[in-house]
Structure 1
């Protein structure tokens, strides 16, 4: 006997009645279709929700990644500037050590530094997919290096301060001032082609190009040993300083000091000129230690403000 189910529909006013007969197999079929439709629709909807959520997270991560990359780029620029400043500090440190008679720190010592971490950072595994992970590792390693260099400079400055305190009475006699405040170095210390004689010979000082009449200042305390005309140097002033130092100023337009006069660092001693064997107005400046020429650049400070203050202090 065929199993059937009966569906009866009665209108609201109970005046109309409709009756449908359906087999059990059809009921099972339609119910199955309905359940399958519900399942498929539900899965599709769930997949859409998951995709929307995933895409939202991806966009959020992309925004975060962009911010991190911008910050990393900024950090790289700042580290670069700090590294440049550290190089300048190291140069000044070497200059101070020369002036104070101390040995310069070797390149190997500066490279290693003092204390801090020497660990090589590597985030390429931990931050997979982050484009700048290698840059991040590099910058953190560079920061650790700067940390060690800073600690080294702090220790070096302690050494310099101690030496300064023990030698402060003799520092007034060190040629630590630039001989002219304005002007550029046109010829350095060492072998060069002589601009007039056209032969190679050792240049025993520095040449500063400047306008005629530019003031020339004593670079340290001392006593004027010579004023006059000296061969190719033209008008020249020579000053004796204590502890074996002597400074020479050549090609002057005029000098305003006399032999035997005591001068202070920053005191005007003459003006730039073009006397002697010279092709243009400039100052020839020498530093001698125990009679031997040494590179003046190792003794004076390039800091313009510092030089101006020293001159201003002397001429008040």
Structure 2
């Protein structure tokens, strides 16, 4: 009886699973080669499938490279064809499933390249190239820069947002846009609007007509870029322009916006920061007087303060900066 029980236990060990700590262990009879081969084949097939899916996902997510902008380049032909088709769909209000998914091509800017030449060759527009690459003007293009060129025209909502349905519908209402055509870029964490174009104000920023000179009577005492620091006597980067003027000279808002900061800040002395659309802000330093308060909305040309000599300065002047997404920009503006 005991031998029979022992034999039964031995046989059962080859056919049932032992469970311990939620781990299932299967014991197979080594002589059962057919089962071993079958399980091994299934394991290999699943492993190959997962590897293929991973590689395909990595390749599809990676930007394609444009080695050159010759019309004979197959990659450029594909890009132009996608742009043409997506533009047609977005303008006709076609169903979202018909739009070719958003993807990017990368192009390394060469010494002889110009912004509008690249725009024409890729069948892009100013809005798309500047929005995707966060360019503030055509002058931002420099040799060696890697441009990302999407396969459709359009613009990004400038602020980082989530991909929720509520956010999607809120932005669709703001831009008066069909939510079914919107695409979310998870890498940028921003919504893309195929076929959407910039308004007049946004275009004026890019072409250098968005900001007006913040003073009427002044002398340029220091320009944007490298200069000899008047205090350290070393060559340093100057992230704005200095406009020399008499103490008390009126300072004007360079563009419509909201007063984000109006207080003392280190070397700036009395500083006003005005927040504008598209991630822009302007800074007005060394003021003698504030004529606005934080949170106040101001209009282009409105007096917001007066020239002074506060902070780190050698004489009365206005230190003026334009920034976009915290990066200092070379000021280009129209006459006041």
Q: Judge same fold: TM > 0.5, yes or no.
A: no
TM-score, normalization: structure 1? 0.42
**Structure showing the higher strand proportion among its residues:** 2
TM-score, normalization: structure 2? 0.40
**Structure showing the higher helix proportion among its residues:** 1
Compare relative contact order (CA 8 Å, sep 6+) and give the higher one, 1 or 2: 1
